[in-house]
């Protein structure tokens, strides 16, 4: 059995000391770190061991016969442990460190905690037992030796005095005893700000000057209260707490610049007051109650503002003017007056004028010296009730100083218009009307506008007061009814009656006019509906509305348009082919490049001239020429039998054309409407090409060429093509 002694030596109890046993070592580090004496079994370390790198090794040993190398017993496993020594110093792995603590903190306020590590064995001896201490940073901070918690060692440290501290911390092993290893790190401690300082004005008195014509809202000056704190702890609000200009000035806070801006709230007047004194206050926005006992966190300063004189424009006595004038006011009469003054100490004379852009018709004038407005042209309230003009006031010494004021002129009414009928009335009287029947109700209108409203008086002309036919009746609604005195009116005897009516208003003085009502006698139905009058314009169709009449009229117009279009198209289709005979051309071949469209082709040819041989051939007068002599029309030819040959049909038509005295002297086009029967030929033509030098007979009627649609197309024949 193998066993290991303390001296790292292997030995078997089978060894008689005959030196026939050999020791073999295998496992972790065998041959590289550990080596065995094969005779004695002693194990030696051939390299330096590091516990922090590998704390133990597992090896296997065996005793074998020296000569045969056969195992004398089974292999034995054993472990070699590396014993620790203090060969590693403590380390601060996360250093250097940074920490913050509020200023003015009490004694013992925790700042942070820093720890170090030691690679030595913490369970074996004191090699990894650490003790912490401060090498630099006293007397401001302290550290607990075992926990490494850093605390404040002085109370009420002031950030404004010193903001940042550097602390050097040491960690030592071996429990801090001599001979131990140590490591250090640094800690930077920053004091954070608290609101422990009030704002303080840089100066107790501020002076500003401002022109009296400065625009409202303009910044006049800035005041600033300094605060040793930072951030929101230094934010201050500004207020005007006293002074004789609290109503004219205001102060606002600028959060960026941390100062107060004084602005103008109301206009200044140098002539009224030349200076103002303000008392402004700056106070912290965020108050820390821990330091409220130190006193109010605010400060005050005095601001003096001097108003400087400026050349101001004229000032009108009123911001607006309202004037009234009667429409019958005399020309050049004074309507009203505007006044203005120069507010400066050295007052300048003022001249007045009218802005002609507001008085394009130049209806008004103004006295340049005293501002009296006069009438330049007559007024008419019925055309315009209001006139809005602008008056300009200009300093004589400085023409750039001007002011404007609006002036509204109201035209008052006078009774200068006589009343008249509200519209053009025309009454209709039924022949079968009854006595006392209301013929027409009329109303009056007056262009004037009396204060108490209109009230009209109606009457007949003096010579018609005893009118035998009609009478009038005043209604409560200020209108007038015309009534018939009797019945039995006859339009055959008299169809129109004229009734003059006098209309008077209630003005002072009253005005009147005479309006004539036209009364027409008409025939009516039993229920009083007008059916007809002597004047056609007043015949009203019974039962038809205006919409129905318009629809009937539209239908009539549409029918007339259709008839005109039909006649125009008919004339266009009946126009004959025009023969140009002003040029004597002996060889004239008329060529058509289109195939006849049959019965649907109505554009190229006059369908009306096509005659079916089966029908009756009547006389068709020639429209292309005007014959010198008038001949009697030819008698129509007898109908061609259905079985006639095409050749025969053409010869007959040629003979007829040759003997027609109304035919043109040269070529023309003969149009035939004949459907050939029994022919298997297609489209035929007689226009065969001939040489230009061949002898031709130019005494011909027309050059013709058959144009058939299958066995019957339009045909054109010339006299020279008779043989064909």
| pLDDT for the residue numbered 551 | 83
What's the rounded mean pLDDT across residues 484-497?
87
97-192 shares the fold of 2-81: yes
| pLDDT for the residue numbered 544 | 55
CA diameter of the chain: 187
| pLDDT for the residue numbered 633 | 44
Highest mean pLDDT among 46-60, 418-432, 541-555: 418-432
C-alpha to C-alpha distances, 9 to 15, 25, 95, 705, nearest whole angstrom: 14, 11, 47, 145
Of 401 and 32, which is predicted with more confidence? 401
Q: What angle do CA 564, 565, 570 make, to 5 degrees?
A: 100
How far is it, in rounded angstroms, from Cα 167 to Cα 103?
A: 17
Are 314 and 218 a contacting pair, CB within 8 Å?
Answer: no
Over residues 401-444, the pLDDT tens digits come to 999 999 999 999 888 888 888 888 888 888 888 888 888 899 98
Superfamily of domain 427-537 in CATH is Cadherins (2.60.40.60)
Over residues 667-691, the pLDDT tens digits come to 555 555 555 555 554 544 444 444 4
- Indicate if the pLDDT at residue 580 is higher than 80: no
Domain definitions of the chain by residue range: 2-81, 97-192, 200-308, 324-412, 427-537, 544-572, 575-724
Q: What is the third-level CATH fold of 324-412? A: Immunoglobulin-like (2.60.40)
CATH 3.40.50.2300 for domain 2-81, yes or no, is no
C-alpha to C-alpha distances, 448 to 445, 513, 631, 645, nearest whole angstrom: 9, 14, 86, 100
How far is it, in rounded angstroms, from Cα 23 to Cα 30?
A: 13
Of 190 and 196, which is predicted with more confidence? 190
| pLDDT for the residue numbered 572 | 66
> Which band of pLDDT confidence, cut at 50, 70 and 90, is reported for residue 184?
very high
- Indicate if the pLDDT at residue 89 is higher than 90: no
CATH 2.60.40.60 for domain 200-308, yes or no, is yes
How far is it, in rounded angstroms, from Cα 423 to Cα 245?
A: 69
| pLDDT for the residue numbered 596 | 53
Secondary structure class of 107 (helix, strand, coil): coil
Facing residues of 705 across strands? 716
CATH number of 97-192: 2.60.40.60
Are 277 and 304 a contacting pair, CB within 8 Å?
Answer: yes
Q: How many residues does the chain have?
A: 724
Over residues 132-148, the pLDDT tens digits come to 999 999 899 999 999 99
- Indicate if the pLDDT at residue 343 is higher than 60: yes
Share of the chain above pLDDT 90, in %: 33
Of 716 and 516, which is predicted with more confidence? 516
Are 422 and 442 a contacting pair, CB within 8 Å?
Answer: yes
Residues 6+ apart with CB under 8 A from 152: 101, 105, 106, 107, 108, 109, 111, 140, 141, 142
How far is it, in rounded angstroms, from Cα 42 to Cα 30?
A: 13
- Report the sign of the C-alpha dihedral through residues 553, 559, 561, 564, in that order: negative
How far is it, in rounded angstroms, from Cα 576 to Cα 591?
A: 18
Over residues 606-637, the pLDDT tens digits come to 544 444 544 444 444 444 444 444 444 444 44
Counting Cα atoms < 13 Å in the Cβ hemisphere of 82 gives 21
């Amino acid at each position: 059995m193998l066993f290991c002694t303390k001296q790292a030596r292997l030995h078997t109890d089978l060894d008689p000391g005959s030196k026939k046993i050999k020791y073999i070592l295998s496992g972790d580090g065998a041959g590289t770190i550990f080596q065995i004496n094969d005779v004695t079994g002693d194990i030696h370390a051939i390299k330096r061991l590091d516990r922090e790198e590998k704390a133990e090794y597992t090896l296997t040993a065996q005793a074998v016969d020296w000569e045969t190398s056969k195992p004398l017993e089974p292999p034995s496993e054993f472990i070699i442990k590396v014993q620790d020594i203090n060969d590693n110093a403590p380390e601060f792995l996360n250093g250097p460190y940074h920490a913050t603590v509020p200023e003015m903190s009490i004694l013992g306020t925790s700042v942070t905690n820093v720890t170090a590590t030691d690679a030595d064995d913490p369970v074996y001896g004191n090699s990894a037992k650490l003790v912490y201490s401060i090498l630099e940073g006293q007397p401001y901070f302290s550290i607990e030796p075992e926990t490494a918690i850093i605390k404040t060692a002085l109370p009420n440290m002031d950030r404004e005095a010193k903001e940042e501290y550097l602390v050097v911390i040491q960690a030592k092993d071996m429990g801090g005893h001599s001979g131990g290893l140590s490591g250090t790190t640094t800690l930077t401690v920053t004091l954070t700000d608290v609101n422990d300082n009030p704002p303080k004005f840089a100066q107790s008195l501020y002076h500003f000057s401002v022109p009296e014509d400065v625009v409202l809202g303009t910044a006049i000056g800035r005041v600033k209260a300094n605060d040793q704190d930072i951030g929101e702890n230094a934010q201050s609000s500004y207020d005007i707490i006293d002074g004789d200009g609290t109503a004219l000035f205001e102060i606002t806070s600028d959060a960026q610049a941390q100062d107060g801006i004084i602005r103008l709230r109301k206009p200044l007047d140098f002539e009224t007051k030349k200076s103002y004194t303000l008392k402004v206050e700056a106070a912290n926005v965020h108050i820390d109650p821990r330091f409220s006992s130190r006193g109010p966190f605010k400060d005050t300063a005095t601001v003096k503002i001097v108003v400087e004189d400026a050349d101001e424009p004229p000032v009108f006595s009123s911001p607006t003017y309202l004037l009234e004038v009667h429409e019958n006011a005399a020309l050049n009469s004074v309507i009203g007056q505007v006044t203005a003054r120069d507010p400066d100490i050295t007052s300048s004379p003022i001249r007045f004028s009218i802005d002609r852009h507001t008085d394009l018709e130049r209806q008004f004038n103004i006295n340049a010296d005293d501002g009296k407005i006069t009438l330049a042209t007559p007024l008419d309230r019925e055309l315009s009730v209001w006139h809005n003009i602008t008056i300009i006031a200009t300093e004589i010494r400085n023409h750039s100083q001007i002011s404007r004021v609006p002036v509204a002129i109201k035209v008052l009414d006078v009774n200068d218009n006589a009343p008249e009928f509200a519209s053009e009335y025309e009454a209709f009287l039924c022949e079968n009307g009854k006595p006392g029947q209301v013929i027409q109700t009329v109303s009056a209108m007056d262009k004037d506008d009396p204060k108490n409203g209109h009230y009209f008086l109606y009457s007949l002309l003096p010579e018609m007061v005893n009118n035998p036919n009609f009478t009038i009746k005043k209604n409560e609604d200020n209108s007038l009814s015309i009534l018939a005195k009797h019945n039995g009116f006859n339009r055959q005897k008299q169809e129109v009656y004229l009734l003059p009516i006098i209309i008077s208003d209630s003005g002072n003085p009253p005005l009147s006019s005479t309006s004539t009502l036209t009364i027409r006698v008409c025939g009516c139905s039993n229920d009083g509906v007008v059916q007809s009058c002597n004047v056609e314009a007043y015949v009203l169709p019974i039962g038809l509305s205006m919409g129905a009449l318009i629809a009937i009229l539209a239908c009539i117009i549409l029918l007339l348009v259709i008839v005109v279009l039909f006649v125009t198209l008919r004339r266009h289709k009946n126009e004959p082919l025009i023969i140009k005979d002003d040029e004597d051309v002996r060889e004239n071949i008329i060529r058509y490049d289109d195939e006849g469209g049959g019965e649907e082709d109505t554009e190229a040819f006059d369908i009306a001239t096509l005659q079916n041989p089966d029908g009756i051939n009547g006389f068709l007068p020639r429209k292309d020429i005007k014959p010198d002599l008038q001949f009697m029309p030819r008698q129509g030819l007898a109908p061609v039998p259905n079985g006639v040959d095409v050749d025969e049909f053409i010869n007959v038509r040629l003979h007829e054309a040759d003997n027609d005295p109304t035919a043109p002297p040269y070529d023309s086009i003969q149009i035939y409407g004949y459907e050939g029967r029994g022919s298997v030929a297609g489209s035929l033509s007689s226009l065969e090409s001939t040489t230009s030098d061949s002898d031709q007979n130019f005494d011909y009627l027309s050059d013709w060429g058959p144009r058939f649609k299958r066995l019957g197309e339009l045909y054109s024949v010339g006299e020279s093509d008779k043989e064909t």
